[in-house]
Every structure is written in C-alpha cells, then in structure tokens.
C-alpha cells in the first residue's frame, strides 16, 4: 500500500493511473479537490478496489494520523501543492498554507508514523517529495542547466513556497533520519492538465476560435517533460533512489514558449484543421508579460540516468502529438473543467 497526496491533480492523477496500470499495489489517494483537483481524472478507477480516494487536507493532522494508522503505507508520494505562478502572484497566502504548512504537517505525521514502525518496515519506508525546477531560479541563455547542487533562487511566491517545502524535507531527513527522496521536475504536459497552463490553454483556445496568449516576446525557455515520463521517473526513484538524495527529472527538451505553441498549432493543423483552411498559428496573440517572469529553466537529468538508468521515452514532438490527440478525444472532460470560474480566471489574467 502507498499513500499519494494530491492524486486528483494533473501529475498526481496521471501517477495513480500509471501506478495501477503497471502493478497491483493499492493506493490511498488524499486530495482536497481545490480548483485543479478533479475526480473525473480518476473516473476509470471508480470500481477498482485497489484505489481508495479520501477527500481531505494535508494540513489536517488528525486526518493524516488516522489514514497512516489505518492503511499502514510503505511509502508516501507527496504531490499535493498549489502550483500556478500567476495564482501565486495574486494570492500568495494559499501557497504558503498548502506548500509550506501542509508539507510540514504531513512530514510531522509521517515522522511519528515511521518512528512507530518495526525496524524492518522503517528501513524500507520512503517519503518521496515531488518538487519543481523553479526553485532554482532563472538561467541565462548559455548557462549550464540546473543540477541537483544548483543554489536555490526562487523568484515567485509559488517557487519560494516549493523551495521552503524542499528545505523542510531535507531537514526532516538530516534531523530525524526520515528516509526521504526529492525530485525536481521540469514543465510537465499531457492528459488531464487543467487548462490554465500554456499547452492545454492554447489547445482549448485554438479549438474554440480564441486568441492563443503568449506572454511578452514568447522567448521564455522551458524544458518540457511528458507526464507519463515523469511518472516512470518517480517510480524508479522510489524503487532505487538513495535516501536523502535529490534527483532532477527533465525531458531534454528546451523550447521557447512561442516555439511550443507553434508546434502545437502544427499538430492541430494536421489532426483537426480549421474550417477556413488557415493555420491555428494565426490565433497567436502577444500579451503583457507576467511580473518577474523567469527567462529560462533547463534541467540536467544526467544523475538520474547515471545512477538509476532512467531517460524519457518521449520526444517533445511525440509527446505533443499524444497530448493533442488526448484533448481532441476528451472534449467532455474539457467542457467539464472550463466552468464559469475558470473563464473568469482567464479573463482576469489574459483579458477578454
């Protein structure tokens, strides 16, 4: 049995689905179901006895104690987090509450649970914390990619809150001996991605005839990681990672935001052409840049390959084609999440 936090969100739900598709070990899935936590992501598991869903908050210490005592997990995989930079700029307190306070309470509950285990179970137990490359700050165009020893230089309330949670995980290992692992990933994309992030937003807007909003000049560079590759990396780190270590997870796909959207438009042109025969790229619109927008992230994932033999299976081109096909085939899911509140959010940040 494993316990997953945030398993109804984008990456968390993909991990739960992949986990149960590749093995039979049961999952207890704890999620608060905030705006991006969607139980529809897990609809295929409705009658699967291996999946136990619990609606609750990682900051609820009593609930955590109860779940750990009841289910006796051999590992905790911690995805639960507020994760959108724009939202953190407009409402940073929620990010501190979930990413810092919530992570602290989870760590404390897990520490007490782990201390009560017998020696064999305690030695095998793992706490795997899923984090982001944004904790490292921004890179110059020709600077080396982020390694695991790169200094932390977070530049947004979101990345600062994730950096704080990373430090807490490290402290719980060094102070209490808790057997922790941390992964810092690059930008994920793929199925079940809430349509406020760049790729799903532009797919949705393209198909509904709306502008494809690009911040600033569109030359902000990110490394892109297909979500199923991220899930396989987490499984590998959980299986064989060295306790107390951090592993960067990247797709070896550095792309400027504008190039990402152009590639997406090319895929849509092929798979679902516009009625007028024009390219979806004609809908690209440049909007005012976000405050403090980091210019470049790049992940050096060579440690993960060298020590654990992991590399991504997808290129950006194969991953984006799979992503576009998924959204075209799951319009009911898209319609379900694009509520009035979602449209209000998009209007607030990108204009009419």
Q: Which residues are catalytic?
A: 133-134, 158
> DSSP letter string over 248-301?
EE--S-EEEHHHHHHHHHHHHHHHS--TTS--GGGGEEEEPPPTT---B--B--
In angstroms, the CA 29 to CA 194 distance is: 19
Rg for the chain, CA atoms, rounded = 20
Tell me whether residue 256 is exposed, middle or buried, using C-beta atoms within 10 angstroms of its C-beta: 0 to 12, 13 to 18, 19 or more: middle
Cα separations in angstroms, 271 against 44, 287, 315, 322: 26, 27, 18, 11
Q: How many Cα atoms within 13 Å fall on the side-chain side of residue 191?
A: 21
In angstroms, the CA 227 to CA 163 distance is: 22
Q: Where are the alpha helices (DSSP H) in the chain?
A: 10-22, 61-71, 85-90, 92-95, 103-115, 119-124, 157-176, 198-207, 227-240, 257-271, 302-308, 316-329, 331-337, 340-350
> Which among 132, 183, 127 is positioned nearest to 160, based on CA atoms?
132
In angstroms, the CA 91 to CA 97 distance is: 11
In angstroms, the CA 110 to CA 99 distance is: 16
In angstroms, the CA 178 to CA 101 distance is: 18
> Which among 319, 334, 323, 297 is positioned nearest to 155, based on CA atoms?
297
In angstroms, the CA 12 to CA 19 distance is: 10
């Amino acid at each position: 049995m494993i316990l997953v936090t945030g398993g109804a969100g984008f990456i968390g739900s993909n991990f739960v689905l992949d986990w149960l598709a590749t093995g039979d070990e049961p999952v207890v899935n704890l999620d608060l179901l905030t705006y991006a936590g969607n139980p529809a992501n897990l609809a295929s598991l409705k009658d699967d006895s291996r999946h136990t869903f619990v609606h609750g908050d990682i900051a609820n210490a009593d609930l955590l104690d109860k779940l750990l005592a009841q289910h006796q997990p051999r590992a905790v995989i911690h995805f639960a987090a507020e994760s959108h930079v724009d939202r953190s700029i407009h409402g940073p307190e929620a990010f501190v509450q979930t990413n810092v306070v919530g992570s602290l309470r989870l760590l404390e509950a897990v520490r007490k649970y782990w201390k009560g285990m017998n020696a064999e179970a305690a030695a095998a137990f793992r706490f795997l914390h899923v984090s982001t490359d944004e904790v490292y700050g921004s890179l110059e165009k020709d600077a080396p990619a982020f390694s695991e020893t790169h200094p932390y230089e977070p530049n947004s309330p979101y990345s600062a809150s994730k950096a704080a949670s990373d430090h807490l995980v490290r402290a719980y290992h060094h102070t209490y001996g808790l057997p922790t692992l941390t992964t810092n990933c690059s930008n994920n994309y793929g199925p079940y991605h809430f349509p406020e992030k760049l790729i799903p937003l532009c797919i949705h807007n393209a198909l509904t005839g709306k502008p494809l909003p690009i911040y600033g000049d569109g030359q902000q560079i990110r490394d892109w990681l297909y979500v199923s590759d991220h899930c396989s990396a987490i499984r590998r780190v959980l299986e064989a990672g060295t306790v107390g270590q951090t592993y960067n997870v990247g797709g070896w796909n550095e792309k400027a935001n504008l190039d990402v959207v152009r590639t997406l438009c090319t895929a849509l042109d092929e798979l679902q052409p516009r009625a007028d025969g024009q390219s979806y790229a004609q809908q690209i619109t440049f909007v005012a840049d976000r405050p403090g927008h980091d210019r470049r992230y790049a992940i050096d994932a060579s440690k993960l390959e060298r020590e654990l033999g992991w590399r991504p299976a997808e290129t950006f081109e194969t991953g984006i084609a799979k992503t576009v096909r998924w959204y075209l085939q799951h319009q009911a899911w898209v319609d379900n999440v694009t509520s009035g509140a979602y449209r209000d959010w998009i209007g607030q940040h990108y204009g009419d």
